[in-house]
Amino acid sequence: QVQLVESGGGLAQAGASLRLSCVASGNILAITDMGWFRQAPGKQRELVATIANGGNTNYADSVKGRFTISRDNAKKTVFLQMNSLKPEDTAVYYCNAESVTYVSGGTYLRTPKGGIWGQGTQVTVSS
Q: Return d(Cα 108, Cα 102) in angstroms, integer.
A: 6
pLDDT band at 114 (very low <50, low <70, confident <90, very high): confident
Per-residue pLDDT, 1: 85
Phi, psi angles (nearest 5°) of residue 83 = -110, 165
| 59-110 tens-digit pLDDT | 999 999 999 999 999 999 999 999 999 999 999 999 999 999 999 999 999 9
Q: Return d(Cα 63, Cα 69) in angstroms, integer.
A: 11
Q: Who wins on pLDDT, 99 or 57? A: 57
Does pLDDT of 35 surpass 90?
A: yes
> Do 69 and 59 contact (CB within 8 A), yes or no?
yes
Q: Return d(Cα 57, Cα 14) in angstroms, integer.
A: 25
Question: What rounded mean pLDDT belongs to the chain?
Answer: 95
Per-residue pLDDT, 112: 87
Per-residue pLDDT, 113: 81
Per-residue pLDDT, 59: 98
